[in-house]
Every structure is written in C-alpha cells, then in structure tokens.
Amino acid sequence: MSEPSFDHQPVMRDEIVDALSPVPSGVVLDATLGGAGHSEALLESRDDIRVLGLDRDGDALAAAWRRLAPHADRVMTQRCRFDELDEAMRANDVEQLSGALFDLGVSSPQLDRAERGFSYRNDGPLDMRMDTDARWSADDVVNGYAESELADVIRRYGDERFSRRIAAAIVAARPIESTTRLAEVITTAIPAPARRTGGHPAKRTFQAIRIEVNGELDALPDALDRAIDALVPGGRLAVLSYHSGEDRIAKERIRNAETGGCECPPELPCVCGAVQTVRVVRGIRKRPTADEQASNRRATSARLRVAEKLEPTPRSEA
C-alpha cells in the first residue's frame, strides 16, 4: 500500500514568511506541522533558523520529514499536542524560541482521506481523531452525547443557529455509523432556505464535532501562553485561525500578554503591577488575498494575528 499523501497548499504562505522574517536567529516552532508547507517556506527563506515541528498525526509527521528532507539537519519533530510544548522543547534541547506559528484547524489531506472521518463529502467512519491512537472519536460524540450536550457542542464550536434541531435529528437517527449518513441527517434537519447559503449544510456541525473530539480549544490558551513565554525578545508569534472560537482565544491571549492582565481603568495610570510582554504587529495582511481564497477553499475563513515579544515592561512605565 502506498503511503498517504500530505501535499497541500499552506494558507497565507508568503504572509507567514514576511511576518517571521525579522525574528532573531534560532528555533522557530511550527506547533501544527501538518504537511510542513509553512516550515519548508521558512527554512528556504532563512538559513540561520531551525524548526521544531509538533503534530499529533503520525502520518503528518512522516510526510513532513519527506518534504523537509533537504533541510533535515535543521529540523526537529515531536509527536504531541501543542500544549505539551514545554516537554517537546526539553526533549529536543531547545531553551528558547525565535518564532512560533500556530496554523489551527484540520489540514486538507486529513479532510481528503475518507478513512479519517473528517469529511462530510466522502464516506468514511465516524472518527475525526487527529491522533489516531487516541481512544475518543466522533462516534462517541455522535452516538453517545445527550441531546442537550450535543446541541451545546454544535452551537459553541460550530456557530450553528440550528444546533437544537440538528442535535434532535442526530439522536433520533441513532445509531449513525458513517460520515455521509451523518451529513445526510444534518442536512435534512436544516430548513431548506438555509441550505442554499453558506456552503455545505453539514460543514459547521462537522467542524464542531472535530473540535470536541480533539479538545482543540481546550488546549489552545495554554499552548499560546507557553509559546509567548518561550519567545526571546524580538521573537514573533503568528496564529492562523479558521473559526471564531479559535480567533477569539488568539486575540484574548495576545491581548493578555500585551496588557499584562491589567484591569486598571484605561483613563488612569496602571497601579496593579501588570507587565507588558508583547506588542501587536501592525501592517500585516490579516486575510488571504481574493486570488488565494479562489484557489484554496481552506483559506476562505482564515485570519492571521501576529505579536512580537518585548523585554518585560511594567505597564506603569509604558
């Protein structure tokens, strides 16, 4: 059997390279290595950086090594979740980071492989695990959650206004055993006029179930905080998000580092001892170009946020 392909188009590739181009020499974290498109571009753009790539997907790591073979002496990888950054850094003798990239969500190759269960278009099992060794899968959510719990997941992680109708339809149709059957149940639960806009009717619900299965949003705040802490002054954090929940967390954690968690009235001097550790980088494109969105459907909802590490500065002196 041939090895699965992880060829894909990295979203906002040039913008990511530009955003990280000023960082000091050293190690750049790719917290979601995937097909390694961004890491390849970064390594090609700078010969004075190394990459530490993290991913839960063993197939992705194997594909990344093939893609990054010309730069193998500057690549380190670790199979783990991105909130295990501290352990990954210790395992690879990395003390500090010059840059950090989080390209969130699921990669196109994972979506395209029906047996992984991420796709609402291709028939496959109810899986959706990014780590194929994990015990929890989409089947546990779809066929095991109470109706109210399922509706909450779909609403919270999918921004789906018909979450209650969809949850009720899923519970009534149990047991559901395949992705296409799940997509069919979801579609019929949504009123016909609403099905005609916003892409595939099952898209938001599949996204929500995937996020729940993999605990993506639970792990993200701590992972971003750890990456910011590990950056050297002048290092940069870049976060590509594809969902409002991801982007909200990225914005909150960057804002917290920018303000030091200060809660003093904005019109008064800071007296709480808060310390600013990053600044938001302005002048960088936040959305993919129209051409990229047209050629790469995964780029359509992408949003980029970038912050630069500072020497710790008390807010009272800022």
Rounded to an integer, what distance in angstroms lies between the CA atom of residue 19 and that of residue 38? Answer: 12
Position of tokens 């979203």?
Answer: 11
Cβ–Cβ < 8 Å for 200, 176: no
Q: How confident is the model at residue 317 (pLDDT cuts 50, 70, 90)?
A: low
Tens-place pLDDT, residues 65-90: 999 999 999 999 999 999 999 999 99
Tens-place pLDDT, residues 123-146: 999 999 998 889 999 999 999 999
Rounded to an integer, what distance in angstroms lies between the CA atom of residue 126 and that of residue 140? Answer: 9
User: Across the strands, what pairs with 44?
Assistant: none
Termini Cα distance of the chain = 60
Structure tokens at 189: 């639960």
Instruction: Give CA 98 to chain center in angstroms.
Output: 20
Q: How confident is the model at residue 108 (pLDDT cuts 50, 70, 90)?
A: low
Angle value at C-alpha 160, between 155 and 165, nearest 5 degrees:
85
Rounded to an integer, what distance in angstroms lies between the CA atom of residue 247 and that of residue 255? Answer: 12
Alpha-carbon distances, residue 174 vs 99, 128, 208 (angstroms): 46, 18, 18
More confident call, 6 vs 130 = 130
Tens-place pLDDT, residues 235-261: 999 999 998 899 999 999 999 999 999
Tens-place pLDDT, residues 26-70: 999 999 998 899 999 999 999 999 999 999 998 889 999 999 999
Q: Is the pLDDT of residue 3 over 50?
A: no
Question: Is 50 in a helix, a strand, or coil?
Answer: strand
Rounded to an integer, what distance in angstroms lies between the CA atom of residue 42 and that of residue 45? Answer: 5
